[in-house]
Structure formats: C-alpha cells, structure tokens
C-alpha cells in the first residue's frame, strides 16, 4: 500500500484535486502552480504508457472534484437512480479527463525523456489542449481554465491584454521553471527575474484604464426569484411565479433597467404575449424603464424552439441563445444519445435551436449591450466581436439545477472574467444565485445570497473603448503561443547538429 501511495500516479491524482481547489469557492490561487509543477515533474521521465496513466489520474482528480456538481443535477433534479447518477457522473468526469491524457501523451511523444526541453514545451501543449477542449468538443467546454483562479493575484492585470489563454500560458511557464530549477539546476537567475518582471508588469497593467465612461449612470435592479427547479415548469406554479416578478418589478419602476433571470417566464412568448407581456411593456414605457425578460420562444412555422430574452418598455430587440448546453438543451451524437437517455428514463432534454451569430445588439434606455444566456458566459470569444458598440454586459442564467454545489460559485467566477476582459460592467441575474453587479475590473460591487428571493439594486456606468484582448482575440493569442513549437523544434535540431559536429 505504501509503495502505491508513493507512486507518481497517486501524486498526480492528488495534484488534480489540488488544481480543482484553486477555483471558487475555495480559491487557493497558488494551487495551479504547484499542481502543474508536480504534473510536469511526473511526466519528465515518463514514457507514453506512464504518461497515459499519470495524465488520467491527474484529470480524474481534477474533474472528479471540480465538476462533481453533475451528480447533483442528475440525481436530485433529474431524479435518476443513485447508482445511475454515480455512473453517469463518473463517465462525464472520465471523458473530460481525456483532455489531460491528451496533454500528457503529446508532451512525452513529441520530446525525449529527461531533458528540460520537454518541460519547456509543456506550457505550450497545455495551452493548446485547453483551447481544443474549450472550442471543439461538444460545442466547447471551456470550464475552469487555470487563469480563472487568478482574480486576486497580479496575473489578473494581464487578462485585458492577453486573455485567459495567455494568462494560463504564463502560469504554466512559471510551473515549468519550478521543475527546471529544482530538477536540472538551471535557470536560477531566470526564475527571480521572471517573477520580478511579471509582478512589475502585472501591477502596471492592473492599474491601466482601457475603457472610459460613455453616458450617465444607470440605476439597475436585478430580480432573483429563487423558484425551485422542481416547481419551475409546473403549470400550477406559473401564475405564482409571474405574480412575484411582476409585483417586484412594479416596486422598482424608479430604476432605469430591471432584469429577470433565464426563463423566468415559464411559458412560450406567444402564450402570454397579449395578456402579460404587452401590458407589462406599456407599464415600463410609462415609467421610462427598460425591462429585460427571458423565456422560451417557439417558431410555429419551422417547429423550432429557442432559449431567448427580449426587452420591454424603453428597450428594443431580442436575443436567441447561440451556444447551447450539450445534454441539456440539445443532444449531441444523435440518434445514439437520444435512444440511450430515453431508455434510461431520466430528466427530459430540450430540443432547442441555436440562434444566429449575426444577431444585432439589444438596447436599453438607448444603450446597446451584449446579452448572454447561462453557459454562454464561459465563452470569451462571444463578446469581442460585438464589444465596440456595446456599453455593458448582461448575463441571465439559471443555476437551480445544481443546488448547494460548487457550480454556482465556479460559474460566477468565470462570468466575472468577461467583465475584466472587456472593461465593462456585468449584470448577472440568476434564478437561485449568485446574482451580482460586477465592475469593469472584475470586482464584485453587489451580490445576492444563494437560494433566497432577492432584489439587488445598484448603479452602473455605460463604458466605451476596447481592451487589447478584445482587439486581438483569443485565436490570435493561441496561434502566437503555438508558434513556440516550430521554434522549439528548430532549437532542438540545431543542438543535435552541434553536438554531432
């Protein structure tokens, strides 16, 4: 037993758990540096078979803790049998662990063991695998990139400049230098110089103002209904839900903008348009208030369903969700996945259609803004293309599926990144929490508690201007990082030729 405990596989498993603890709500910001250093060290002398297992153990430790909230969703709200819920959660965690396995096997396959050049190239491969996971697998799963753990550190100053992938790359470089210094006794002078350079640059960038006010302050009210997920779509609760939101809205007609969370209206738009939405919009106009509500929309002609939001009163436009949630709003791998879920008889899966990526910006009180729905808040590339004209950000979501788990805290942490990247205020409105007003530096101004009805009122300032990362884009940053691979190959080949001579 002791021999197993000392093996690198077990060390990698614990390192993966440590990495998971770097995110909210535990926020151990130093953990990614230690966890990645241990993983890099474990792979330094490994062959591809050892790398496969060590990467797998690390990935399972990481995802097994970090996305354990999947069990809460399947068991408590999907009402699956506990054995089935555990099994599906394990499959989910093991599947995403394959991304770490991919990183580990690529790292050892492209390099020779026992050379610090292997450690040197690992940060590049880590970044590329994070990008691959975040963009291409099942519509992308950019959940918990390591940069999200650095809000309270100097690294946050780099976010508006090089984004989450660039910061993750810098963090991985620091971890690789720890291994190079401790193992190969090289870089003793480079390591402190790098720390000083990063600290000075980050401190300077953290106080750099990239955007500027462009309009008068707006008073905003965010409504958190705390409607139980079990009751949300129960027809007998529909009137009670609508009455709560309507009455609370009427108490805040002095606000410039009032926002309801994702699918706060448990009915299709056409079902309540005349009797509920039209009178509500007329009231908002009379009080000079813009109102953002969220509800499903059905296109009867095409037979399509959309997860959507629209503005009422002193606002214009609607938005249909683009990035749909796999196995929540649509089923990938059809027809196999549909057949399996039907036969297992667990939670119903939506059959939503994604909206166009060319939708015009919505407007409220004359100001254009970018709206995202739920899971879309974790996709950094969805904001830059439209940021030039937008004056603030809105995210409406429903984390009620995940109970008192890690998910609401993680989701809030990732949503804050969009505010920091763009230099805009973010209004995040949720059904059960965490509803919050986030400043242009990613700072929390106001936050409602979890699982309590709440009315959150505060002020924001419309902002203009763009940050460097929104001009450059994540794709460009990742492409530049990828160029290190041919550079590294050239250096290694040159050294081989020199040694032969």
Catalytic residue annotation: 262, 321, 374
Please calculate the CA angle 392-395-399 and round it to the nearest 5 degrees.
160
What distance in Å separates the CA atoms of residue 71 and residue 209, rounded to the nearest whole number?
Answer: 42
Which residues have a Cβ under 8 Å from the Cβ of 143 and sit 6 or more positions away? 66, 67, 378, 410, 414
Which residues have a Cβ under 8 Å from the Cβ of 392 and sit 6 or more positions away? 367, 369, 370, 424, 425, 426, 427, 460, 462, 463
The one-character DSSP state at 326 is B
Tokens of 15: 């390192």
Phi, psi of 445 (to 5 degrees): -90, -45
Tell which residue, 349, 275, 359, 363, has the closest CA to residue 322.
359
Q: Is the peptide bond before 25 cis (omega within 30 degrees of 0)?
A: yes
Mark 50-68 as b/e (b = at least 16 C-beta within 10 Å). bbbbbbbbbbbbbbbbbbb
Q: How many CB atoms lie within 10 A of CB 82?
A: 10
Q: Where are the alpha helices (H) located in 74-135, listed in sequence order?
A: 82-109, 116-135
Strand order in the sheet with 304-313: 318-320, 304-313, 290-299, 257-259, 218-224, 454-460
Tell which residue, 102, 112, 170, has the closest CA to residue 137.
102
What distance in Å separates the CA atoms of residue 158 and residue 218, rounded to the nearest whole number?
Answer: 29
* Token pair 């040159």 in the structure block, residue: 494
Which residues have a Cβ under 8 Å from the Cβ of 247 and sit 6 or more positions away? none
Please calculate the CA angle 58-409-54 and round it to the nearest 5 degrees.
0
């Amino acid at each position: 037993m002791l021999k197993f405990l000392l093996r690198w596989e077990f060390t990698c498993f614990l390192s993966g758990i440590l990495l998971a603890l770097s995110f909210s709500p535990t926020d151990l910001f130093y953990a990614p540096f230690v966890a990645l250093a241990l993983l890099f060290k474990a792979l330094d002398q490994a062959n591809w078979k050892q790398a496969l297992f060590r990467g797998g153990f690390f990935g399972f430790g990481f995802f097994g803790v970090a996305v354990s909230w999947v069990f809460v969703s399947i068991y408590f709200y999907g009402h699956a049998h506990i054995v089935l819920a555990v099994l599906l959660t394990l499959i989910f965690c093991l599947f995403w662990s394959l991304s770490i396995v991919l990183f580990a096997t690529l790292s050892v396959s492209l390099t020779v063991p026992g050379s610090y050049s292997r450690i040197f190239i690992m940060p590049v491969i880590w970044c590329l695998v994070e990008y691959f996971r975040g963009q291409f697998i099942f519509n992308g799963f950019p959940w918990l990139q390591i940069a999200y753990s650095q809000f309270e550190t100097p690294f946050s100053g780099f976010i508006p400049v090089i984004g989450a992938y660039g910061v993750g790359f810098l963090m991985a470089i620091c971890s690789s230098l720890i291994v190079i210094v401790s193992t190969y006794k090289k870089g003793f002078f480079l390591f402190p110089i790098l720390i000083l350079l990063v600290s000075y640059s980050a401190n300077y960038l953290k106080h750099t103002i990239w955007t500027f006010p462009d309009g008068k302050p707006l008073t905003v009210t965010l409504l958190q209904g705390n409607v139980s997920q079990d009751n949300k779509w129960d027809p007998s609760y529909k009137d009670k839900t609508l009455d709560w939101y309507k009455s609370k809205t009427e108490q805040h007609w002095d606000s410039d903008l009032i926002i309801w969370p994702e699918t706060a209206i448990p009915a299709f738009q056409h079902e309540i348009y005349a009797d509920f939405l039209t009178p509500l919009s007329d009231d908002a106009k009379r009080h000079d208030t813009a109102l953002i509500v969220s509800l499903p929309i059905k296109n009867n002609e095409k037979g399509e369903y959309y997860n959507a939001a629209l503005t009422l009163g002193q606002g214009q436009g609607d938005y249909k969700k683009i990035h749909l949630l796999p196995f929540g709003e649509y089923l990938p791998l059809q027809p196999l996945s549909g057949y399996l879920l039907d036969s297992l008889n667990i939670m119903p899966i939506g059959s939503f259609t994604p909206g166009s990526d060319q939708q015009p910006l919505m407007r409220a009180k004359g100001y254009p803004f970018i709206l995202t729905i739920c899971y879309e808040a974790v996709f950094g590339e969805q904001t830059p293309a439209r940021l030039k004209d937008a004056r603030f950000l809105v995210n409406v979501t429903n984390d009620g599926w995940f109970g008192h788990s890690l998910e609401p805290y993680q989701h809030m942490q990732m949503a804050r990144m969009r505010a920091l990247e763009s230099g805009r205020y973010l209004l995040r409105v949720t059904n059960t929490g965490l509803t919050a007003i986030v400043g242009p530096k990613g700072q929390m101004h106001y936050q409602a508690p979890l699982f309590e009805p709440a009315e959150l009122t505060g002020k924001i300032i419309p902002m203009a201007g763009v940050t460097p990362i929104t001009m450059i884009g994540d794709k460009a940053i990742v492409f530049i990082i990828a160029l290190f691979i041919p550079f590294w190959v050239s250096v290694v080949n040159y050294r081989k030729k020199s040694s032969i001579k």
